[in-house]
Amino acid sequence: MGFHVDSETGRLRRVILHRPDLELKRLTPTNKDALLFDDVLWVRRARQEHDGFADVLRDRGVEVHLFGDLLSQVLEVPTARALVLDRVFDEKEYGPLATDHLRAAFDSLDAAALAEALVGGMTKREFLAAHREPTSVRFHAMDLDDFLLGPLPNHLFTRDTSAWIYDGVSINAMRWPARQRETVHFEAIYRHHPLFTGAGAGSFHLWSEGQGDYPST
């Protein structure tokens, strides 16, 4: 069965959900505003409620795909992994001396660990526990508990970053810095995951302008 949505009220057959994880544990009273949250969450309870919601959907015949699983699986695909790492580790963000070093360090992670870091974030302290420090003044000046890679708690809201419209999917560029990396994760999934590239996926349009234009979200 291919992918097609032509109703806002018709029967739901498939859905992508994101189970609350490390990224929500990273929320604190001091960073919640920058991460676009009104308050910190009780993550264990949020997981329980999310799992209950997913089970209700499954009981009603909905095929539930968990975003974390899709991201881990697609990061096993070399082309998808390269797409994500090239977009995330940009010289404008990390500087010319640190970018290649950081990209190589994250590329050395297995798919599950890389997916967790991309969504859950990683501090300088956590990075140095497993990797040597790059020769970069910018990196050296960071405090140990500064985020080298910020968490993405808004991945919880999967409705925002992509939307199906008839026989195509729009991958949306996000306005706020706390959300902009979400776009490349969904682009990798829709372009390279076997769920969307396999024989059963059929053909569909993919509309994406990358992360460069984000006027409204």
pLDDT band at 42 (very low <50, low <70, confident <90, very high): very high
Four-CA torsion 184, 187, 193, 195, nearest 10 degrees: 130
pLDDT band at 3 (very low <50, low <70, confident <90, very high): confident
Taking the model in full, what pTM does it have?
A: 0.90
pLDDT in tens, 116-141: 999 999 999 999 999 998 888 888 88
Radius of gyration of the chain (CA): 18
Q: Write down the domain spans for the chain.
A: 90-153
Q: Does the structure show a pLDDT above 50 at 216? A: no
Residues 118 and 85 sit within 8 Å (Cβ to Cβ): no
